[in-house]
Structure 1
Amino acid sequence: MKKLLFVAALSTVVFTGCKEETSTTDPTPQPVVQEAVSGEVSGVWKKGSTYKITGHLQVPAGKTLTIEEGVTVLMNDSTVKPEIVVRGNLYSLGTSQNPVKFTVPDAWKTVKNEFGALWGGIVAAPTCAEFVMQNTVLEYGGAVTTETSPSVKGGLYKAAAGERIPAIYYPDVNGQFVVTSSTVRNFYEDGFYLEGGKVIVANNKFYTTGIANGDAINIKSGVVADVAFNLIYSPNTNGLKLSNSGDRSPQAYVVGYNNTIVNAGWRRPTTKGGSIWLEKTVRADLYNNLLVNDRFGIKRDKGAPEDNRSKVSNNMYYAFTQEAVNQFQPSTEILAGSNDIISKTAGDNDPKFVNYPLNTAMTNATFNQAWDFSVQAGSPTLGKGTTSFTRNYANGLTINGVTYKSPEPTTTIGAFGTK
């Protein structure tokens, strides 16, 4: 009898002890503020945390850095102006309500610093097999490289001092690169500079980029891409610069569709700037793009034109000045697509944006967050697009167990329909 009582008492003690241990364990990782981050980084940066960057960062080859929703990556050293070199994989996984932010202290966000240059950018290496950003903000970068810059010492990007770093550089011809629902703003020069990879760039916003040069999306040989449903506002040069320069395999092939490009090229001091630029045997299929108040129409380099398999169709042009209208009329340099809507007179084919003054100065680069580039009922963009084309990644790219598909085209020209 005594033995049974002892066993029962011991069982009670063991059960009670387990219960107490469970109740004091919180399985939810808490946000942290990590000071003075520099050097090699990998693993997981936890949801809602802040990482204060005081030196250059590197994701080593064979390693992965995953950045969870709501993380702030604060570039906190104006002397170093950090670069992020990615030799392994990078996944920046924000949400619409809780984006990841690569930014600078609020006190630095002045009119003087409108075009950034307060940190470098994200420079991937050919060993970066997978690069994903969703719901991520990149802002106030584009610093000039020096002899001591990691990208220069590592032979990456242009590997020379005196070059402005893009928001993102990606070079792996065998890699996969996906950026969706993200924002690039307040950068000194290019947004994306891509020299390789299977690429999806969709549902993003680019604005206040390029003070003296710079394209929003700059694509070279080695890239096969779908570029769709992006809003590009007032890039210094082109919204899309599409080129097969570099002669890497595969040949550059871009399906660009349902983009809205506004005020492109007017801040470029030469005549190269415009809406979309084609050169050096790039293969480009361009559909349903809305080109508003841009300096030129879809323009080719006459001395080194696009691949003759390229297709242009169902794009729409608008301008509020006759000068701009004249400069998107078809010529030996300006491409005319089938079923394009090309006005002849200033003010024709008003796209009827919900909230954007169409007479805004074409050189303006300051973005108003109240603007709304959706269209109203009765817009000439509605029902004038085509869905009868093949995109590269309708079946998707699978990265880290997730399949990312390029969005389905719509019959509305531009990135946004009615609300």
Structure 2
Amino acid sequence: MKLKQIITALALASAMFAGCQKANKFVDTTPTDGTAIGEVSGVWTRGSTHLINGDIIIPEGKTLTIEEGVTVIMDTLKKPEIVVKGNLYALGTDANPVKFTVNDLYKTDAKKFGKLWGGILAGPTCTELVLDHVILEYGGATTSDASTSVKMGLYKAVAGENLPALWFSNVNGRLVVQNSIIRNFQEDCTYIEGGKIIFANNVFYTTGVTGGEAMNFKSGCLADVAYNLVYSTNTNALKLSNAGDRTPQAYIIAYNNTMVNTGWRRPTAKGGSIWLEATVRADLYNNLFANTRFGVKRDPKKPEDARSVYKNNWYYGFDQTTVNQFQPGSNDVVAGVNDVISKVAGANDPKFVNYPLNTPVSNAVYNTAWDFHLTGNSPALSTGITTFTRHHAGGITMLNGITYVSPAPAMFVGAYGTKL
């Protein structure tokens, strides 16, 4: 009898120890289909599916590479966060993007602003992060005291914050986000606090319940931002700030971006298209503002660096209300050299291939059949400028040997020229 009791006790102890290991240490996913919670690294191989059942952490000094066609499904009850202390490379293709998503069952209109999982949170020890041909959707959960990010002192490190799709915080790091889609998030899409950065050829839509920007840059950032489409963010397409006083001073070069309907769903001073504040240095060229709230707007109490440059941007408003608030000099709106701004509703039609210009500015639902290329007779095809210098024309080379180059500017305005 005593021997049976000992064996039973040992079995129970073993089970409890295994359970503690699973809960508190890690269960690493396999390279192929698997489930993950805790520490992960290595390679998730092409076409595999990974179920994330709790917060996952890429440890400092480790790397997780996610190959094309991988689907990462987040548990909507656990609302996991992806904490990057090492490096992350998510490398999809146009035909086979990497997806960070939830089960299709939860993609309802009631959940169009996500909140179903956290976001990708890259701490100060993350030196490199690449999202190339990646879809991020249905995240932006609100933190609590139990959140891993709060316990680790990451992002804003307090309960009650709505997480962005991506937070990056290493002023000496390298960050590339290109050819990707960020949609269905509760607030900010990205919140970037430093690094050498390229944001290019991305699409942002259906984001922000009561606030939130598409691209939010703070001090420490040297960023090239080009050929991005931003549709109906709650607040700004670009919030450019030197807040935080990190070195280097934030210097953002944003060119050939298309912004449509941005800012109207947050009718406050900061709701708009491009917001400048806190001595940020910003060069803005060839950007297209269509039915946006304001255009380029500064914080009058904390304005941008006087060396900032604005040239050859294009403004279209379907109605007079929209056109009136584009006008420079009112509401701290900034005008540039060779900007195309009319005082008449309907002037400067960029002639999109397929987009109803009378779409209500409060609309946040994106129709994937829309096409923001310019038709062959668009007046916006030849009014851009290409003679400026961008930060990363020589490229950003990663530890894995891949070099990412910020795209060259175009003579057309906006993110898309004519359709090939």
The normalised TM-score by structure 1 is 0.92
Query: Could you tell me which residue of structure 2 aligns to residue 255 of structure 1?
Result: 253
What is the CA–CA distance in structure 2 between the aligned matches of 1:418 and 1:287, rounded to whole Å?
19
Q: Indicate conservation of the 8 Å contact 1:224/1:392, yes or no.
A: yes
Which residue of 187, 200, 203 corresponds with 2:201?
Answer: 203
Q: Secondary structure at the match of 1:323?
A: helix
What is the CA–CA distance in structure 1 between the aligned matches of 2:269 and 2:378, rounded to whole Å?
31
Structure 1 residues 293-334: Cα deviation after superposition (integer angstroms, max 9, x where no partner): 011110000111000000000000001011110101011611
What is the CA–CA distance in structure 2 between the aligned matches of 1:380 and 1:275, rounded to whole Å?
22
Structure 1 residues 235-289: Cα deviation after superposition (integer angstroms, max 9, x where no partner): 0000000000000000000000000000010000413111100000000000000
Query: Could you tell me which residue of structure 2 aligns to residue 32 of structure 1?
Result: 32
Query: Could you tell me which residue of structure 2 aligns to residue 330 of structure 1?
Result: 328
Q: Indicate conservation of the 8 Å contact 2:31/2:42, yes or no.
A: no
Query: Could you tell me which residue of structure 2 aligns to residue 24 of structure 1?
Result: none
Query: Could you tell me which residue of structure 2 aligns to residue 11 of structure 1?
Result: none
Query: Could you tell me which residue of structure 1 aligns to residue 65 of structure 2?
Result: 66
One-letter amino acid of the counterpart of residue 175, structure 2: F
> Which structure: larger Rg?
1
What is the CA–CA distance in structure 2 between the aligned matches of 1:306 and 1:381, rounded to whole Å?
28
Q: Secondary structure at the match of 1:381?
A: helix
Query: Could you tell me which residue of structure 2 aligns to residue 178 of structure 1?
Result: 176
Query: Could you tell me which residue of structure 2 aligns to residue 221 of structure 1?
Result: 219
Query: Could you tell me which residue of structure 2 aligns to residue 343 of structure 1?
Result: 342
Q: Indicate conservation of the 8 Å contact 1:190/1:218, yes or no.
A: yes
Q: Secondary structure at the match of 1:342?
A: coil
Aligned in 2, Cα 1:31/1:85: closer, same or farther, shift over 3 Å? closer
Query: Could you tell me which residue of structure 2 aligns to residue 156 of structure 1?
Result: 154
Query: Could you tell me which residue of structure 2 aligns to residue 381 of structure 1?
Result: 380
The count of aligned residue pairs is 388
Query: Could you tell me which residue of structure 1 aligns to residue 401 of structure 2?
Result: 401
Which runs of 5 or more residues in structure 2 are unaligned? 1-29
What is the CA–CA distance in structure 1 between the aligned matches of 2:291 and 2:340, rounded to whole Å?
14
Structure 1 residues 36-90: Cα deviation after superposition (integer angstroms, max 9, x where no partner): x110000000000000011000000000000000000000x22210000000000
Q: Secondary structure at the match of 2:389?
A: coil
Kindly, what percent of the aligned residue pairs are identical?
63
Q: Secondary structure at the match of 2:149?
A: helix
Q: Indicate conservation of the 8 Å contact 1:115/1:210, yes or no.
A: yes
One-letter amino acid of the counterpart of residue 323, structure 1: T
Query: Could you tell me which residue of structure 1 aligns to residue 240 of structure 2?
Result: 242
Query: Could you tell me which residue of structure 1 aligns to residue 27 of structure 2?
Result: none
Query: Could you tell me which residue of structure 1 aligns to residue 121 of structure 2?
Result: 123
What is the CA–CA distance in structure 1 between the aligned matches of 2:250 and 2:56, rounded to whole Å?
30
One-letter amino acid of the counterpart of residue 345, structure 1: V
Query: Could you tell me which residue of structure 1 aligns to residue 410 of structure 2?
Result: 410
Which residue of 300, 304, 307 corresponds with 1:306?
Answer: 304
Instruction: Give the C-alpha shift of residue 31 in structure 1.
Output: 8.2
Q: Indicate conservation of the 8 Å contact 1:177/1:198, yes or no.
A: yes
Query: Could you tell me which residue of structure 1 aligns to residue 370 of structure 2?
Result: 371
Query: Could you tell me which residue of structure 2 aligns to residue 6 of structure 1?
Result: none
4+ long deviations beyond 3 Å: none
What is the CA–CA distance in structure 1 between the aligned matches of 2:196 and 2:376, rounded to whole Å?
36
What is the CA–CA distance in structure 2 between the aligned matches of 1:313 and 1:380, rounded to whole Å?
17
1:143 has 2:126 as partner: no
Q: How does 1:343-362 map to 2 (within 5 A)?
A: 343-362=342-361
Structure 1 residues 341-374: Cα deviation after superposition (integer angstroms, max 9, x where no partner): 0011110011100000000010101000100000
Q: Secondary structure at the match of 1:410?
A: coil
What is the CA–CA distance in structure 2 between the aligned matches of 1:112 and 1:327, rounded to whole Å?
32
Q: Indicate conservation of the 8 Å contact 1:120/1:165, yes or no.
A: yes
Instruction: Give the C-alpha shift of residue 397 in structure 1.
Output: 0.2
Query: Could you tell me which residue of structure 2 aligns to residue 80 of structure 1?
Result: 78
What is the CA–CA distance in structure 2 between the aligned matches of 1:67 and 1:364, rounded to whole Å?
34
What is the CA–CA distance in structure 2 between the aligned matches of 1:156 and 1:272, rounded to whole Å?
25
Query: Could you tell me which residue of structure 1 aligns to residue 26 of structure 2?
Result: none
Query: Could you tell me which residue of structure 1 aligns to residue 18 of structure 2?
Result: none
Q: Secondary structure at the match of 1:96?
A: coil
What is the CA–CA distance in structure 2 between the aligned matches of 1:79 and 1:134, rounded to whole Å?
28
Instruction: Give the C-alpha shift of residue 148 in structure 1.
Output: 1.0
The normalised TM-score by structure 2 is 0.91
Q: Indicate conservation of the 8 Å contact 2:76/2:102, yes or no.
A: no
Q: How does 1:79-98 map to 2 (within 5 A)?
A: 79-98=77-96
Give the CA RMSD over aligned residues.
1.0
What is the CA–CA distance in structure 1 between the aligned matches of 2:322 and 2:299, rounded to whole Å?
19
Q: Secondary structure at the match of 1:152?
A: helix
Query: Could you tell me which residue of structure 1 aligns to residue 17 of structure 2?
Result: none
Instruction: Give the C-alpha shift of residue 131 in structure 1.
Output: 0.4
What is the CA–CA distance in structure 2 between the aligned matches of 1:133 and 1:389, rounded to whole Å?
26
Q: Indicate conservation of the 8 Å contact 2:155/2:167, yes or no.
A: yes
Q: Indicate conservation of the 8 Å contact 1:31/1:48, yes or no.
A: no
Q: Indicate conservation of the 8 Å contact 1:174/1:196, yes or no.
A: yes
Which runs of 5 or more residues in structure 1 are unaligned? 1-29
One-letter amino acid of the counterpart of residue 369, structure 1: T
Q: Indicate conservation of the 8 Å contact 2:261/2:292, yes or no.
A: yes
One-letter amino acid of the counterpart of residue 356, structure 2: P
One-letter amino acid of the counterpart of residue 250, structure 1: P
Q: Indicate conservation of the 8 Å contact 1:41/1:59, yes or no.
A: yes
One-letter amino acid of the counterpart of residue 232, structure 2: S
Q: Secondary structure at the match of 1:278?
A: strand
